[in-house]
Amino acid sequence: VAACFGDVVAQYHAVRGRSAELPAVKSTIRTNSELVPKRAQQLATLWQELDGRHAGGWEGARVLEAGCGFGALAAYFAIAMGPREVVGIDARLDFVTSANRCSQDLGLSDRLRYVQADMRALNRVGDEPFDVVIANNSFIYLPAKRDMLDALAEFRRVLVPGGRVVFYHANLWQLREPFTRSPIVHLLPAPVAKGLAPVTGWKHSHGRVRLVSPPQMARMLRKSGFREVRFGAADRGVVSRRAAYLSRFYATVATAP
């Protein structure tokens, strides 16, 4: 997984003239290769502890990863977690095309495939329901609350009754912007943050991500019919709800009706 997906990411940047030695490129390659087991295991632990279910219910499950990016995480799930099938979807055709090539090269195409689809309209993933929908660092890329509610309606529609949604993403409730580490820019209205940028040098992610807090996630999930909404973060090795409020990144798990 590390070799195939690491190469894909390196090539993606190479054709755009970006060297694999640039810090940002290096970090994306690592995220999609050597860091994948750690990221997947952390998500699995959070899900398992928040859900109280043994091994997080992977065994024999049909899993949808919404916003799978280059697809390395979905591949690791397929190999290490024992699901029946993993379908990764992403809005980007180039990502799902290269990911499907890796799936084939790794001999996984009977249980791992990638489909170009928008998480707000999942009609391209077929009619067979999923046991779990995972959105790892992807839900916050939806531009507005309406888009988030549309995606939640789709997650609910494609899940079996009692199926789970599992999210992991950056937290709005931080004093520093979770990605750029600049102070408070994410809490300011976009025009103010943009106006301040040239003066202060603070970097913001307005227009790129829509950060949400744990209570905002809970409200949207309940409004969309999900129940048993739980959050947690794995700070200092301990999964706790309190940590979710204060962590840069937090997990949310909820049950479909």
Ligand X SMILES: C[S@@+](CC[C@H](N)C(=O)[O-])C[C@H]1O[C@@H](n2cnc3c(N)ncnc32)[C@H](O)[C@@H]1O
List contacts with ligand X (CB under 6 A): 67-69, 73, 89-92, 95, 118-120, 136-138, 141-142
Distances 170 to 136, 138, 179, 180 between C-alpha atoms, Å: 10, 10, 8, 12
- Least CB distance to ligand X at residue 118 (A): 4
- Least CB distance to ligand X at residue 90 (A): 5
- Least CB distance to ligand X at residue 4 (A): 14
- Least CB distance to ligand X at residue 140 (A): 9
Query: Which residue, among 219, 213, 216, has the nearest Cα to 174 in the 3D structure?
Result: 213
- The answer to whether 185 and 204 have CB atoms below 8 angstroms apart is yes
Question: Residue 126: exposed, middle, or buried by beta-carbon count in 10 A (0-12, 13-18, 19+)?
Answer: exposed
- Least CB distance to ligand X at residue 200 (A): 26
Classify 212 as helix, strand or coil.
strand
Select 18 or 188, whichever has its Cβ closest to ligand X: 18
Select 1 or 191, whichever has its Cβ closest to ligand X: 1
Select 95 or 250, whichever has its Cβ closest to ligand X: 95
Which residues are within 8 A (CB) of 131 and not within 5 positions of it... i.e. 6 or more apart?
Answer: 57, 61, 62, 63, 159, 160, 163, 164
Stated as kind and residue range, the H or E segment containing 64 is strand 62-66
Select 138 or 252, whichever has its Cβ closest to ligand X: 138
| Distance, CA of 146 to CA of 126 (rounded, Å) | 24
- The answer to whether 165 and 119 have CB atoms below 8 angstroms apart is no
- Least CB distance to ligand X at residue 73 (A): 5
Select 79 or 161, whichever has its Cβ closest to ligand X: 79
Neighbours of 181 (CB within 10 A): 11
Select 54 or 146, whichever has its Cβ closest to ligand X: 146
